[in-house]
Amino acid sequence: MKTRFNSFKKYQAIIIHLLVWAFVFALPYIFSLQWQEGPMPTEFARKILVLNIVMNLFWVATFYLNTQFLIPSVLYRKNVLVYLMLNLGLLAGILLINRLVFEVLVFESSYSINKALLHNALPYLFFVLIAVAFRTVNDRLELERRAKERESENLKTELSFLRSQISPHFLFNVLNNIVALVRLKSEELEPTILKLSSLMQYMLYETDEDKALLKSEVDYLRNYIDLQKLRFGKRLSINFDVDLMEDWHTIEPMLLIPFVENAFKHGTGMLEDPVIDISLQALDNRLIFTVKNKYLDEDKAKDKVSGIGLTNVKRRLQLLYGNNHELKIDKSDGWFTVSLKLTFEN
């Protein structure tokens, strides 16, 4: 039962469109039956029916050509004059084909371009206006739906993000290292505490905003990586390459950290020579972010939040950046590679 419902929901829009078109094209015949005084000659009625079917197909093509191409690609880009010229050209083409069909069916030279224009210009204008109204309303509803979905998604993922980005296990190890530094009276103690403080401050305060400076996000990554270096020491080789030619851009807070955290979760463990390579570049209004780590196929151990970070960030990328981002995840030759490319909106 549920499968049938899902199938209907999948084709619901198509079914509704077909029913609406059937109703619209049936209206003239319904009214003609009410006002017709006598039977129409069979041969002539057949020819008129064929001509009407051809014109109906043109009205359908006009509607979808406008909604799917002309309106989003031309009208939305403020090219109103070009949009009008294209529609006038389309109307002229329809009139030309209408004349050819008329002459083939009727075999008469009584075709009048003025009558054809009079009979077809208003229907054409009607379907163009309907197309504009349909596309505009549909896009507005889609924007509102995505905004509500984004708000709902952010509310649902807020706690999971705060819990998954810095795990208690990570904090436990950092605090143990700090205790060891206190006992050794090491010079690294103060910088370590400052990094941890900056990390927590960014999580608690900066992430409340819709956007954060790219520079702040990178500083957060750097502090996180430095603390991980303190935790693993020489057992782990970590490379962090940053090239911020354009550091004034803004980005969704906590968008990059799940990829880095995932590398530390699954790129260490039982590996003999664990390596994590992280690179970030901001240039030409684009961000290129890559995280690589070695992994073991037989390492199946996962904690309770191991899958939350990547799942959430994929969803957030889709909602916030749509077609303006490209995410690739590859596992080959013992390396797990995440590559993210996105276009800044500012």
Counting every residue written for the chain, the total comes to: 346
Domain ranges of the chain: 2-144, 166-343
Confidence class for position 34, pLDDT limits 50, 70, 90: very low
Q: What is the pLDDT of residue 226?
A: 85
249: phi > 0 → left, psi -120 to 50 → alpha, else beta; which? beta
Quick: pLDDT tens for 145-171: 888 877 776 655 554 454 445 555 556
> Residue 248 CB: number of other CB atoms within 10 A?
11
**The pLDDT value given to residue 5:** 47
- The pLDDT of residue 39 is 55
Residue type at position 11: Y
Question: DSSP 3-state helix, strand, coil percentages of the chain (rounded to 5)?
Answer: 65, 15, 20
pLDDT at 338: 94
Q: Among residues 214, 212, 231, 218, which one has the least CA distance to residue 274?
A: 231
Position 91 scores a pLDDT of: 86
Q: Which residues pair with 93 in a beta bridge?
A: none
Tell me, what amino acid is at 57?
L
Eight-state DSSP code of residue 254: T
Sheet holding 275-283, edge to edge: 237-244, 275-283, 286-294, 335-343, 325-332
Yes or no: say if 287 and 299 are a contact pair by the CB < 8 Å rule.
Answer: no
Decide: pTM greater than 0.85: no
Identify the residue whose tokens are 């151990």.
301
The mean predicted confidence, pLDDT, of the chain is 77
Distance separating alpha carbons of residues 225 and 151, to the nearest angstrom = 30
Residues 193-226 have pLDDT tens digits of: 888 787 777 777 666 667 888 998 999 899 888 8
Looking only at the bridges linking them, the beta strands covering 275-283 and 237-244 are parallel
The class that CATH gives domain 166-343 is alpha beta
Distance, CA of 239 to CA of 275 (rounded, Å): 8
At residue 108, the pLDDT reads: 57
pLDDT winner (highest mean) among 26-35, 61-70, 258-267: 61-70
CA gap 101, 116 in Å, rounded? 12
pLDDT, residue 147, reads 80
